[in-house]
Structure 1
Amino acid sequence: MPSSAEWLVFLGTATLFAIMPGPGIFYVLARSLNGGRSEGIQSVVGNGIGACVHVVAAAFGLSAVLATSATAFTVVKLVGAAYLVYLGVMALFARDRSDGADVHKIEKKPGRQRSVIVQGAIAEMLNPKTALYFLALLPHFVHPERDPAPLVFAVLGLIAVAMAVIVDIVVAVFAGYVGGKLRDNPKWRIRQRIGTGLTMIGLGGLLAFAEQN
C-alpha cells in the first residue's frame, strides 16, 4: 500500500480529478436536468458500475491493452462515441415524460430505472479515457514488493471511483432540483430535452476525437 506521504498525494490527485468537469459530470448533469434527481442518481450508479469495471480491468492488466494497442483503443472509443450519440438522438426524439399527472409513476418504473443505470454503465465502460486515467494514476502508488499489485490497484481504484461518485451525486441532486423547479414550464421541458440530446451527442463527438495519450 502507499506510504503516508503517497496517500496524501493520491487523495489530492483523485480529488482534483473528481471535481474537474469532464464527460461523466456533464452526462450526469444532462440526465438530471432532463429526468430529475432520481434519474440523475441512477446515472451516477451506472457510471460508478462502469468505472468499477475499469478498475477491475486495470487490476488484472486488461486496460494495458487499450494503452498499447491503437486498434483496440480506436474500436472502443468509436463504439462508445456511437452509443452516446445514439442516446442523444433518442433524447431529442423522446416523448415529453413531464406532461400529465402520472409523470412520477412513469419515472419510478423499475424497468426505466434499470435502463438508466445500464445506459450509464455502458457509456462509462466504453470510455477508454477512464481506463487510461487509472493506468496513468495508480501505478505510481503500487509497490509489488510490499503488497500484491492487483489488490492495491483495486483498493485505490475503488477509492477514486467513490470520490467521483460523491461529486456526481452532488451534481445530480442540485441539477435535479433546478430541473424539477422548471419542469412545469412547457418551453423549458423542450429545452431540457434538446439540451440533454445535444450534450450527449457532443460528448460522443469529443470521445470520437479523443487521442490515445
Structure 2
Amino acid sequence: MLSEMNWLAFLGAMALVEMTPGPNMGWLTALSAQQGRRVGFMAVVGITLGLGAQLILAATGFSAFISDNQLVYEILRWAGIGFMLYLAVEAWRETGEASPGNAKSLEGFRRGFIANLLNPKALVFYIAVVTQFAGFDGNMPSAAAILMLGSIHILIAVLVHSGLVLAGAAFGQKLADYRQSVPVRAVFALSLVGIAIWLAFSTHR
C-alpha cells in the first residue's frame, strides 16, 4: 500500500531532481528572459504534457521496452541532444524582429513538448525512480500507483518551472536590447550548447 511508503523520501527526491540543473531549467530561464512570461508559461504547458506522455508510457510498460532496447534508446538520446543544439542555433539567430505574440507562445509550447518527448532522462527517471517508489514493497507496481506518484512529480515540476519562468522574465526585463546584443545572444546559445553536452554525457550508458 502506498500509505506505507516513505513519502518524505519520495517528495525530497522529487524536489531534488527538479532543482538539479538540467535541460528544462536552462532552456526555460533563457526562453523567458528572451521572450517573456507568456511564452515561458506556454513552454511550461508543453513540458508538462511531454512529461505526462512519458509517465503514461512508463505506467503502461512501453517505456521499459524502449529503455531496454539500446538502439532505440540511443536514437531517442541523440534526437534530444540534437533538439537542444537546434534551440541553441535559434537563440543565436534571434534578432528581435517583430512577430505575433501568439505565434511565439505556440512555438514555446511546441518546443517544450518536443524537448521532453525526446528527453531520455525523463524516460529513465520514470522507470528507475518513480516505478521503484511505486514498488517499494518488492511487488510489481500497478499502473495506478505509477500514475499517482508520477503526477505528484509533475506537479512539483510545474511549480519549479513556473518559478524559473518568473525569474527568467524578470531577468529579461533588465535586458531591453538583448535581441540586438551579440554577446547576450551568444550567452544564451552557448548555454544551450552546454546543456546539450551535459545531456550527452549524463545520459550515456
* C-alpha contact (below 8 Å) 2:131/2:141 kept by paired residues: no
Structure 2: which amino acid aligns with 1:12?
G
Within 5 Å, give how 1:67-146 maps onto structure 2: 67-97=67-97, 106=99, 108=101, 110-143=102-135
Higher mean alpha-carbon deviation, 86-95 vs 128-137, is at 86-95
In the other structure, the counterpart of 1:180 is 173
- Alpha-carbon distance change, 145 to 184 in structure 1, aligned in 2, over 3 angstroms: closer
Could you tell me how far apart the structure 1 residues matched to 2:116 and 2:75 are? 15
> Post-superposition shift, 1:145?
10
Structure 2: which amino acid aligns with 1:130?
A
Residue 2 of structure 2 aligns to a residue whose secondary structure is coil
Could you tell me how far apart the structure 2 residues matched to 1:42 and 1:196 are? 19
Could you tell me how far apart the structure 2 residues matched to 1:59 and 1:137 are? 13
Could you tell me how far apart the structure 2 residues matched to 1:182 and 1:90 are? 18
Residue 119 of structure 1 aligns to a residue whose secondary structure is helix
Q: What do you get for the CA RMSD once the two structures are aligned?
A: 2.4
Gaps in structure 2 of 5+ consecutive residues: none
Residue 95 of structure 2 aligns to a residue whose secondary structure is coil
- Alpha-carbon distance change, 107 to 182 in structure 1, aligned in 2, over 3 angstroms: farther
> Post-superposition shift, 1:147?
10
When normalised by structure 1's length, the TM-score is 0.85
Within 5 Å, give how 1:22-61 maps onto structure 2: 22-61=22-61
Could you tell me how far apart the structure 1 residues matched to 2:142 and 2:112 are? 28
* C-alpha contact (below 8 Å) 1:34/1:192 kept by paired residues: no
Q: Sequence identity of aligned pairs in percent?
A: 27
In the other structure, the counterpart of 1:100 is none
Could you tell me how far apart the structure 2 residues matched to 1:74 and 1:186 are? 35
Gaps in structure 1 of 5+ consecutive residues: 98-102
Number of equivalences: 204
Could you tell me how far apart the structure 2 residues matched to 1:147 and 1:136 are? 13
Could you tell me how far apart the structure 2 residues matched to 1:147 and 1:186 are? 52
* C-alpha contact (below 8 Å) 1:70/1:212 kept by paired residues: no
Could you tell me how far apart the structure 2 residues matched to 1:186 and 1:193 are? 7
* C-alpha contact (below 8 Å) 1:73/1:212 kept by paired residues: no
1:197 aligned to which of 189, 197, 200: 189
2:200 aligned to which of 194, 208, 211: 208
Could you tell me how far apart the structure 1 residues matched to 2:3 and 2:169 are? 40
2:162 aligned to which of 169, 182, 190: 169
Residue 182 of structure 1 aligns to a residue whose secondary structure is coil
> Post-superposition shift, 1:20?
2.0
Could you tell me how far apart the structure 1 residues matched to 2:108 and 2:179 are? 23
> Post-superposition shift, 1:186?
7.0
When normalised by structure 2's length, the TM-score is 0.88
Could you tell me how far apart the structure 2 residues matched to 1:47 and 1:194 are? 24
- Alpha-carbon distance change, 3 to 193 in structure 1, aligned in 2, over 3 angstroms: same
